[in-house]
Amino acid sequence: MEKFELHILGCGSALPTTRHFPTSQVVNLRDKLFMIDCGEGAQLQFRKSRLKFSRLNHIFISHLHGDHCFGLPGLISTLNLLGRTAELHIYSPVGLEEQMGPMLAFFNRQMTYQVVFHAFDTNVSTLIYEDRSLTVTTLPLRHRMPCCGFLFAEKPSPNHIVREMVDFYQVPVYELNRIKNGADYVTPEGEVVPNSRLTTPADPPRRYAYCSDTVYMPSLAEALQGVDLLFHEATFAEADAPRARETFHTTAVQAAMLARDAGVGRLLIGHYSARYEDESCLLGEATAIFPHTQLASENLCVQV
């Protein structure tokens, strides 16, 4: 199975603590790196996670609160110091390019590479990135400012060739791509060899969903149905539910209810409020509703 990993660089919320860094994650799909949010210290955590800057070409920013994007200037500057030449693509709600432009012009007057900004509408679900193996789609969320989550969906892979059967039927090399993609093989004598005899099914495509920051949105369950791994913010415990509503955040119980209703494989919770010295209370509340829940922590690597 191809590599599909999630690296947690930071899982705290807006107020700094000595326990957690602000929000940032990296998806590693087949050694191509995709960053989600970039709070302060993200580049330091990137190093600690032993990830390679040269493999990072796309950054997705959920919204323009500082704890999700204040790490961008430092990261962009570091890439410049390293002599990067490849374009860096940043996807965000409208407004980031306007904020970052003057800062980059002042601090990075001699850029060795181009930063390309892509603004998206946070009110509708939109395909914002696609390559041969992956799509990234926005998930509209409800926060105090325009905000989206992201759904990373692996594309289906071709079937696996059964070498012994291909050799037995003396299948020409030029037929293999068709067979991988589901075609039967017709021998020179006219015999139809079913595809199921020549191939084995590929591994099912995997999906990872990121939802932070947002109020509890039961309607998200449809878009998240059956994802393999869901990261959902769980800023507050249930005792602080009024504060969660006031600040447009979610409790651990609500995150677990969404995971249960969406039938996801596993739930990862994070974006912890600074008020909690020990997040085990959040884990306890979540696992009571959705047992397959795990706490996010810095430099944690999770297989999707």
The residues annotated with a catalytic role in the active site are 67
Beta-sheet pairing, 4-10 with 301-303: antiparallel
Tokens found for residue 272 = 């912890």
Q: What is the torsion angle, in degrees rounded to the nearest 10, for the CA atoms of residue 44, residue 50, residue 55 and residue 58?
A: -50
CA 66 → CA 31, 70, 96, 148, 163, distances in Å? 28, 5, 11, 15, 54
Element (H, E) at 56: strand 56-60
Backbone angles phi, psi at 65, to 5 degrees: -75, 145
| E strands in 218-292 | 229-233, 266-270
- Is the C-alpha dihedral spanning 244, 153, 93, 124 positive or negative? negative
Quote the tokens at residue 256. 């677990």
Of 155, 159, 121, 156, the closest CA to residue 141 belongs to 121
**Who contacts 58 (Cβ-Cβ below 8 Å, separation ≥6)?**
34, 35, 88, 89, 90, 91, 129
